[in-house]
Structure 1
Amino acid sequence: MIFDIEKIKARETYNLLIGLVAPRPIALVTSMNHEGRMNAAPFSSYNYLCTDPPIIGMGVTNRPSSDHVPKDTARNIRRTGEFVVNVVTEDIAQQMNICATDFPAEFDELEMAGFTTAPSHVVKVPRIAQAHAALECKEFTTMEIGRSRIVLGRVVSIYIEDKFVDPAGPYVLSEELHAIGRMNGLGAYVKTRDSFLNIPRIPFEEWEKGKR
């Protein structure tokens, strides 16, 4: 089937994209307003974009009820310029999902999910203590496109529990971290436990020999 994006509804485009751009890493973002009130929300339109400087990108749609009112995460980042991406692993998946609930403003997502916080190293926004790894970020820029905001954050500090780091690299022991990914549709996720593939890159010389 061919889908002409100019001729189908935005929701239909969304359904197709999230089914094909998958699995996606999940950013459980902690942010804070000027009064120090915390917010925690997960986003799967997220990835790293470059490493020098280290930049991550995240798409945050506006509130469903409005084309122009940003979600708390985007508003907080714009006003304070800081946020933390907490890595979502199997053991905190259910708590992450609670943070996705559309709570009224007076509710604290972290408290509702049973999360506690720990001080970050560089930014003022705390990380989630139960997360085994986190990226402290400062806003690089925010672009408003349609009903979404694309937030680019510069990573200024990385926290990883010691047991998940091979200091020789340093390398992240991803096979032991057990991060989860987002798939298409509400409630659809994928595990990384026991599912790693090793496909070595082929040097051109070896590829050329194999063709003969």
Structure 2
Amino acid sequence: MHIEMEKATARETYNLLIGLVAPRPIALVTSMDEEGRLNAAPYSSYNYLCTDPPIIGMGVMNRPGTWSGKDTAQNIRRTGEFVVNVVTEDLLDAMNVCATDFPQGVNEVEMAGLTTTPSSLVKVPRIAEAHAALECVEFQTIEIGKSRIVMGRVVGMYIEDRFMDGHGHVLAKDLHAVGRMNGLGAYVKTRDAFVEVPRIPYSEWEKGKR
């Protein structure tokens, strides 16, 4: 099957992209409005973009049928801060609750049975139950069609000591992050799923050719 994207509907394009660009990490983003009201929402159109400076990016679509940004995008634009809470197996159900389309003003964190704790460098709190979190300030937001690409500069990180190896590396095998597979409620676990494939130095690759 070959599909010309110019002839596909927005929904068809969405279904195809999220089915093929997978698995995707999930950012459970906490943000606040100007009055300090908290919002929590998950985004799987998310990844790190560069490390010097440390920049993460996420795609935030507008509210359905409007040109108005979702609460997360509006909060980030108005306050300039947000926190990416890493979604692990034990947070999967709570993350799914935060994805519910609650009426404006409802605190998703409370609805999901979660709590918050102060961040170190930004005013927005992180989720206390999250084992790791990235504290971010808005670097740039690009509006493209009915979506926004939000880039955040990571100014601080939190990670529980038990998930560090003492040499600056995250014990990802123990953290048990989850990934999104498509829009049908399909996720993938990383527990017992790691495959070690070391990079091949050019000198070794040359030897293998002979």
TM-score range, shorter chain: over 0.9
Q: Paired residue for 2:150?
A: 151
Unaligned ranges ≥5, structure 1? none
The residue number in structure 1 matching 2:51 is 51
**Could you tell me how far 1:106 is from its partner in structure 2?**
3.2
Aligned-residue Cα RMSD (Å) equals 0.6
Superposition TM-score, scaled by structure 2 size: 0.99
What percent identity do the matched residue pairs reach? Answer: 74
Q: Please state whether the residue corresponding to 1:93 is helix, strand or coil.
A: helix
Q: Deviations over 1:137-165 (max 9, x none)?
A: 00000000000000000000000001001
- The 5 Å alignment of 1:103-142 reads 103-142=102-141
Find the counterpart in structure 2 of residue 102 from structure 1.
101
Paired position in structure 2 for 1:176: 174
Report what 1:196 is aligned to: 194
Cα deviation 1:41-74 (Å, max 9, x = unaligned): 00000000000000000000000131x1110000
Q: Deviation of residue 185 (structure 1)?
A: 2.2
2: CA distance, partners of 1:205 / 1:160:
37
Take 2:105 and 2:140, find their aligned partners in 1: how far apart are those partners? 29
* 1:7, distance to aligned residue in structure 2 (A): 1.1
Number of residue pairs matched by the alignment: 210
Q: For 1:6, what is the secondary structure of its paired residue? A: helix
> 1 CA distance for matches of 2:176 and 2:203?
35
Aligned mates of 1:29, 1:148 — CA distance in 2:
17
1:15 has 2:15 as partner:
yes
Residue in 2 that maps onto 1:26 = 26
Structure 2: runs of 5+ lacking an equivalent: none
Residue by residue over 1:7-48, the C-alpha shift from the partner in whole angstroms, topping out at 9 and shown as x without a partner, is 111111111111110000000000001100000000000000
